[in-house]
Structure 1
């Protein structure tokens, strides 16, 4: 998916955690970088992410995984799920737009990328409430896309492993 975005000239900056196997990590990122994607290590290069946004660049963040990052519980398939809030926080603090993209494998065995209209952020002045509300809106969007192609989501990921009270602040 990242390569598709890069080939379309979107030159995404991909936020992620390096893989434990350095050789596999290097192979994956050399392939992505070859087509214009730029890797940014999650949690280590916040200033770089803000600089990218301020210069009009784009970041690709995944928020449908239960990872060890700042998160809040929102509903996902009618169950509370610890959900990363990085995308919401970055948008709220920088004024950056959140433009969701969704890629699925079509019946023709080609990847089809859809770019949707911006999802506006609610900004009432209550940062915590806005962060949770906006994260729920983004999660609702993701859930709607998964429902269209449930066979293409990573179901083996333990999406609901973190229980309420265990989320990272």
Structure 2
């Protein structure tokens, strides 16, 4: 066996042992441990501290430094508790008791779309517990096709894929997925995509939380070419562990538009949906994510900055 595979397998065993320990621990205890881990990661070790505080400073310039520190700590708590909830989901959530853990909000919109005779593109961000949302969507009888990048560790990748597909999610590889996506849309299937992944310098740039961010153009193109409605979903924690609100933030249906929107307009729409949910519960967003990475030439960045400043002035007038 190659040395890398040995290391990967050892890491896999450690992760499985950790998950077994979490599953054997009551969720109430997991929540208390998560608070301690959040304090350790945010205040003591300062993991990705500069990035987190820079992101929060740009997104919420009106709050104090002390409030940003508290928000950073709460976001780490959310991440730690999210891992615990994912580990407990197969044992805690079933088709007979899900209503004790999840409140539905405007979800009938998604059901109507899913039962229609057109394809549907479901959008979500690195917000709330999106992994549990995917698990529950399949459990409730609405399987989705999800595009995901394979993990570098093949053993962990297989384990995570088994969790994601256990209730009906079908995972498509990120590389070479175009023909599969086309087939899903042609057969009126439901495609689920994380919409806030950096698309690099050639992506579609729109303002997100006061800064330009790059989005994949393909999401808008899928809707424009297939006529599929875009449905923005979220699952936010409403109280203690494993207590969620599962809702529809908005829907864009190209069939109901008098004039078809372009890529940038559609991208702007779902970006605004994401910003709305993040501003309501900022502690449940992945601030450790380098969402605003900008690899464009300095000239283009400066031009975009001036354009956004002009747009803000015009909106305020």
TM-score, normalisation: structure 1 = 0.86
What displacement does 1:43 show? Answer: 3.4
1:115 equivalent in alignment to 2:245: no
1:40 equivalent in alignment to 2:172: yes
- Unpaired runs of 5+ residues, structure 1, are none
What displacement does 1:68 show? Answer: 5.2
1:152 equivalent in alignment to 2:280: no
**Partner of residue 9 from structure 1, selected from 137, 141, 157:** 141
Question: Which stretch shows the higher mean deviation, 111-120 or 1-10?
Answer: 111-120
**Closer, same or farther in 2 for the Cα pair 1:142/1:53, shift >3 Å?**
same
What displacement does 1:111 show? Answer: 2.8
Residues in 2 aligned to 1:101 and 1:80: alpha-carbon distance in whole angstroms = 23
**Partner of residue 52 from structure 1, selected from 178, 184, 188:** 184
Residues in 1 aligned to 2:210 and 2:228: alpha-carbon distance in whole angstroms = 29
Do the aligned residues in 2 keep the contact of 1:70 with 1:86 (CA within 8 Å)? no
What displacement does 1:41 show? Answer: 1.0
1:79-94 equivalences under 5 Å are: 79-94=211-226
Residues in 1 aligned to 2:227 and 2:284: alpha-carbon distance in whole angstroms = 32
What displacement does 1:134 show? Answer: 0.8
Residues in 2 aligned to 1:162 and 1:100: alpha-carbon distance in whole angstroms = 25
Moved over 6 A (4+): none
Secondary structure, in 3 states, of the residue corresponding to 1:61? strand
Q: Residue 94 of structure 2 aligns with which residue?
A: none
What displacement does 1:22 show? Answer: 1.2
**Closer, same or farther in 2 for the Cα pair 1:69/1:45, shift >3 Å?**
farther
Q: Residue 207 of structure 2 aligns with which residue?
A: 75
**Closer, same or farther in 2 for the Cα pair 1:67/1:73, shift >3 Å?**
closer
Residues in 2 aligned to 1:43 and 1:69: alpha-carbon distance in whole angstroms = 19
Residues in 1 aligned to 2:180 and 2:214: alpha-carbon distance in whole angstroms = 25
Do the aligned residues in 2 keep the contact of 1:73 with 1:164 (CA within 8 Å)? no
Task: Name the count of aligned residue pairs.
Answer: 164
**Closer, same or farther in 2 for the Cα pair 1:75/1:89, shift >3 Å?**
same
**Closer, same or farther in 2 for the Cα pair 1:130/1:47, shift >3 Å?**
same
Q: Which has the larger radius of gyration?
A: 2
- Unpaired runs of 5+ residues, structure 2, are 1-132, 301-317
What displacement does 1:6 show? Answer: 0.9
Do the aligned residues in 2 keep the contact of 1:70 with 1:85 (CA within 8 Å)? no
**Closer, same or farther in 2 for the Cα pair 1:80/1:31, shift >3 Å?**
same
What displacement does 1:53 show? Answer: 1.5
Do the aligned residues in 2 keep the contact of 1:11 with 1:58 (CA within 8 Å)? yes
Residues in 1 aligned to 2:226 and 2:172: alpha-carbon distance in whole angstroms = 18
